[in-house]
Amino acid sequence: MEILHLLEKLTQNCGVAGYEKPIANLLEDEIKDIGPVRRTPLGSLICTVKQESPDKPHVVLEAHMDEIGLMVCDIDDRGFLKVTRCGGIDRRVATASTVIIHGKNGDRRGIVASEEQNPAKNPTLEQLYVDAGVSREQAEKEFPIGTRISYIGSFKHLLEGNVSSKALDDRCGCAAMITAARMLKDMDTDCSITLLLSVMEEVGGMGAATGANALQPITHCISVDVSFALTPELQTHQGGKLGDGPMVGHNPILSREVSEDMAQVGTEQGITHQVKVYAGYRTGTDADGIILAGAGAKGACTCIPLRYMHTPVEVINAADMENTAKLAAAYVAQKVRPEGGCR
């Protein structure tokens, strides 16, 4: 499965929120054959897939490239690195994680440890530190305040078509949207199509919001992220099932018409999918910023079910990612048309 090779390549690269340059460089290389690529001032990638006349609809396909990680905020007398978070780390599994410290003299490995002495308690963020095995003097030279730290999490094939890695959130969305853009390049469409791979979603969604402002006017957007797949602590309505396809979102800020049209296309085309209701009045994904940019856009948020979010061992089903790409491409080709062809 070609999309899996792309996913492995993307997950094993680094791009902590606010320091996305390494993954952005890789992604730009991957998509430059689809269409012209440019970067926003914040570092998001904008790729023009198809350009039609201004009176026709304009669809943005979006996923975020950044991953959660840590940042050096202090160095103690013995060289241990005190850290703060870049995005929402899961403190339950932070201790004993191996990490890459993106220092001034190149990448160095380290171990996350904790001052918490009670093994029955999760450490607080303030209790976490990274051991790079160096003195304070060397640490201050190589890892100054603000240095980003990313998790190490190898790409592993599990049973039943499942895979595990760090940074599946949201590199699986990037792989799906790149695949959808490639499909649409060769499909009969009647709209402009832009691929937006955004930065800083894990710290507030600034990359997607500013990218959408640079792309106005937008009539439709499909934002792909991850959401919780069912695990023992969740009830059925709180997550999706691995292998049952992407979750088409419903929420007050999302277009009900677009969500229903996507589900209809999926049913007609035999593309496995499921539904998700986002509690509250926003989704907490990049879809929010894109929908509210400029004069606004009809928005859909499609999520790939994922277990163990914000850990180095996130798990998805490969077929769910592939079906996300198929569903997005089929919806755009069939439903996004000029006057009379879309709702």
| Tens-place pLDDT, residues 18-34 | 999 999 999 999 999 99
156-157 and 81-86 beta bridge pairing:
unpaired
pLDDT digits (tens, 9 = 90+) for 216-244: 999 999 999 999 999 998 888 888 999 99
Rounded CA-CA distance 226/63 in Å is 10
Total tally of structural domains belonging to the chain = 2
Residues 283 and 249 sit within 8 Å (Cβ to Cβ):
yes
- Phi, then psi, of 298 in degrees rounded to 5: -75, 120
Domain final position from 92, 122, 151: 151
Residue 121 lies in a domain: yes
Same domain, 130 and 97: yes
Q: What average pLDDT does range 261-280 have in this prediction?
A: 93
Same domain, 242 and 232: yes
Number of other CB atoms surrounding residue 28 within 10 Å: 15
Strand ranges (E), 199-271: 220-228, 247-250
The whole-number pLDDT of residue 339 equals 67
User: Any idea of the CA torsion for 312, 314, 318, 320, to the nearest 10 degrees?
Assistant: -150
Same domain, 130 and 279: no
pTM (predicted TM-score): 0.95
pLDDT digits (tens, 9 = 90+) for 303-333: 999 999 999 999 999 999 999 999 999 999 9
Same domain, 91 and 187: no
The whole-number pLDDT of residue 201 equals 97
Domain carrying residue 85: 69-151
Same domain, 105 and 203: no
Is residue 7's pLDDT more than 60? yes
Whether 201 is catalytic: yes
Selecting among 30, 62, 67, 201, the annotated active-site residue is: 201
Crossing angle, helix 21-31 and helix 168-185, to 10 degrees?
20
Residues 81 and 61 sit within 8 Å (Cβ to Cβ):
no
Domain final position from 151, 182, 199: 151
Residue 156 lies in a domain: no
Same domain, 21 and 76: no
Establish whether the linkage from the previous residue to 312 is cis, with ω within 30° of 0.
Answer: no
